[in-house]
Chains A and B, each alone.
Chain A
Amino acid sequence: MIGERPLGLVLLEMILLVLLGPLVTGIIQKIKARLQCRQGAGVVQPYRDLTKLLRKGTVQADTASAFFRFIPVLVLAATVAAGALVPVIRAGPPAVPLGDALLLLGLLALARFLTAIGALDAGGAFGGMGASREMTIAPLVEPVLMMVVFSTAIAAGTTELGALAAHHGTSSIVAWRAADFLGLAAMLLLLPAETGRIPVDNPDTHLELTMLHEGMLLEHSGPGLGCMVLASHMRQIVTLGLVAALFFPAGPADAAGAADLLLGAGVFAAKILVLATYLALVESSYAKLRLFRVPQYLGVGFVCALTALALRIL
Chain B
Amino acid sequence: MDVDSGPSLMAACYGAGALSSLLLARWSGRFALAVGHLAALAGAVAGVGVSLGVLLGVPGRTLTQPLPVFFPFARLSLSVDGLSAYFLFVISLVAIAAAIYGPAYLRAHSPDAGSARQAAQGFALNVFLGCMAFVCCAGDALTFLFCWEGMTLASYVLVVSDDRDGENARAGLLYMVMAHGGTALLLVAFLALAERSGAFDFAALRMAAGDLDPATRTTLFFLALGGFAVKAGVVPLHVWLPRAHPAAPSHVSALMSGVMLKVAIYGILRFAFDLLAPVAGPLPFSWGWTVLFVGTTSAVLGVLYALQQHDLKRLLAFHSVENIGIILIGVGLAMILWRQEGADGALATLALTAALLHTVNHAAFKGLLFLGAGSVLCRTHVRDMEKLGGLARRMPWTAGLFLLGAIAISALPPLNGFVSEWLTFQALLGGASRFHGPAGLVVVFSAAMLALTGGLAAACFAKAFGVTFLGRPRTSHAEHATEAPPSMIAGMMWLGALCVALGVAPGYAVRLLDAPTAGLLQGPGASAVVTARGPLVLSTALTPTGTAISMTMVAGLLIALAAIAWVLRRGLQPDKWRVVPTWTCGMKPTARFDYTATAFAKPLRLVFAALYHPRREVTRETAGTPYVVQRIHYAGEIVDLAETQIYHRVTREISAFSQAIRARSTGRIYGYIGFVLGALFVALLLFGVRHP
Q: Which A positions have Cβ atoms within 8 angstroms of B?
A: 2, 53-63, 65-67, 69, 72-74, 76-78, 80-81, 84, 93, 96-100, 102-103, 106-107, 109-110, 112-113, 116-117, 120-125, 127-129, 131-133, 135-136, 138-143, 145-147, 150, 153-154, 156-160, 163, 167, 218-219, 222-224, 226-227, 230, 291-292, 295, 302, 306, 309-310, 313-314
Contacts of A226 in B (CB 8 A): 568, 571
On whether the beta carbons of A55 and B573 are closer than 8 Å, the reply is yes
- Determine if B553 and A158 form an interchain contact, defined as CB atoms under 8 angstroms apart: no
Task: Check if B549 sits within 8 Å of A97, measured CB to CB.
Answer: yes
With A142-B455, A143-B448, A292-B606 given, is the CB distance from A73 to B549 under 8 Å?
A: no
B639 is an interface residue with CB less than 8 A from chain A: no
Is B625 close to A, CB under 8 A?
A: no
The interface residues of chain A lying within 8 Å CB-to-CB of B533 are 97
Contact in complex: B455, A54 (CB < 8 Å): no
In the complex, which residues 432-485 of chain B have their Cβ closer than 8 Å to any Cβ of chain A? 432-433, 435-437, 440-441, 444-445, 447-449, 451-452, 454-456, 458-459, 461-463, 465-467, 469-472
| A80–B576 alpha-carbon span in the complex (Å) | 27
The contact of B413 among A110, A160, A222, by CB within 8 Å, is A110
Q: Which residue of B lies closest to A60 (CB)?
A: B579
User: Which of the 9-residue segments B140-148, B160-168, B538-546, B676-684 touches chain A?
Assistant: B538-546
A interface footprint on B586-614 (CB within 8 Å = 1, 0 otherwise): 00010101110001111110110000000
Residue among B455, B554, B576 facing the most chain A CB atoms (10 A cut-off): B455
How far, in angstroms, from A97 to B583 measured CA to CA in the complex? 46
CB distance from A60 to the nearest CB of B (A): 5
Residue of B nearest to A124 (CB): B582
Check A73/B571 contact, CB under 8 A, given A62-B580, A65-B393, A310-B441: no
From the candidates B412, B422, B564, B568, name the one contacting A109 in the complex (CB within 8 A). Answer: B412
Residues of A within 8 A of B689 (CB): none
In the complex, whether B577 has a CB less than 8 A from a CB of chain A is: yes
Interface of A is mostly: helix
Of B290-298, B403-411, B509-517, B661-669, the one touching chain A: B403-411
Q: Which of B66-74, B87-95, B253-261, B555-563 lies at the interface with chain A? A: B555-563
Top-3 shortest CB links A-B: A57-B576, A128-B595, A139-B455
Which residues of chain B have a CB within 8 Å of any CB of chain A?
389-390, 392-393, 396, 399-400, 403, 407, 410-413, 418, 422, 425-426, 429, 432-433, 435-437, 440-441, 444-445, 447-449, 451-452, 454-456, 458-459, 461-463, 465-467, 469-472, 533, 537, 539, 542-550, 553-554, 557-559, 561-562, 564-566, 568-573, 575-584, 589, 591, 593-595, 599-604, 606-607
- State whether A154 touches B429 (Cβ < 8 A): yes
Tell me the complex Cα distance, A69–B569, Å: 8
Asked if B545 and A163 make an inter-chain contact with CB atoms under 8 angstroms apart, the answer reads yes
Q: Are A227 and B565 in contact, with the CB atoms below 8 A?
A: yes
Complex Cα spacing A124 to B590, Å: 9
| Central interface residue in B546, B548, B565, B604, by most chain A CB within 10 Å | B565
Apart from A132-B602, A139-B452, A147-B447, list 15 A-B contacts with CB within 8 A.
A61-B580, A63-B582, A67-B392, A77-B564, A107-B413, A109-B410, A123-B472, A128-B599, A136-B459, A139-B455, A146-B451, A160-B545, A292-B607, A306-B448, A309-B441
**B558 with A117: CB separation less than 8 A:** no
Q: What's the least CB distance linking B415 to chain A, in Å? A: 9
B215 to chain A, nearest CB (A): 31
C-alpha gap A294/B603 in the complex (Å) = 11
Please, which residue of chain A has its CB at the minimum distance from the CB of B603? A136
Could you say which residues of chain B place their CB within 8 Å of the CB of A74?
562, 565
Task: Quote the shortest CB–CB distance from B13 to chain A (angstroms).
Answer: 40
Cβ-defined contact, A136 with B569, below 8 A: no
Question: In the bound complex, how far is the Cα of B544 from the Cα of A156, in angstroms?
Answer: 10
Q: A117-B466, A143-B448 are in contact. Are A158 and B547 (CB under 8 A)?
A: yes
Whether A128 pairs with B603 at a CB distance below 8 angstroms is no
Most chain B Cβ neighbours within 10 Å, of A62, A123, A138, A141: A123
Q: Given A57-B576, A58-B576, A96-B553: A136 and B607 within 8 A (CB)?
A: yes
What chain A residues lie within 8 Å of B465 (beta carbons)?
117
- Complex Cα distance A165/B424, Å? 23
Residues on A with beta carbons closer than 8 Å to the beta carbon of B545: 2, 93, 156-158, 160, 163, 167
Q: Among A96, A157, A227, which residue has the most Cβ atoms of chain B within 10 A?
A: A157
Residues of B within 8 A of A133 (CB): 603
User: Is the CB–CB distance between A120 and B546 below 8 Å?
Assistant: no
Report yes or no: A109 in contact with B437, Cβ–Cβ below 8 A: no
Nearest residue, chain B, Cβ from A154: B433
- Cα of A66 to Cα of B397 in the assembled complex, Å: 11
Q: A53–B572 Cα gap in the complex (Å)?
A: 9
Please judge, given known A-B contacts A97-B549, A98-B554, A102-B422, whether A76 and B568 are in contact too, CB under 8 Å.
yes
The smallest beta-carbon distance between B466 and chain A, in angstroms, is 3
> Are B432 and A154 in touch, CB under 8 angstroms?
yes
A125 x B553 contact (CB < 8 A): no
State in angstroms the CA–CA spacing of A112 and B458 once bound together: 9
A129-B452 contact, Cβ under 8 Å, with A69-B569, A113-B458, A157-B545? no
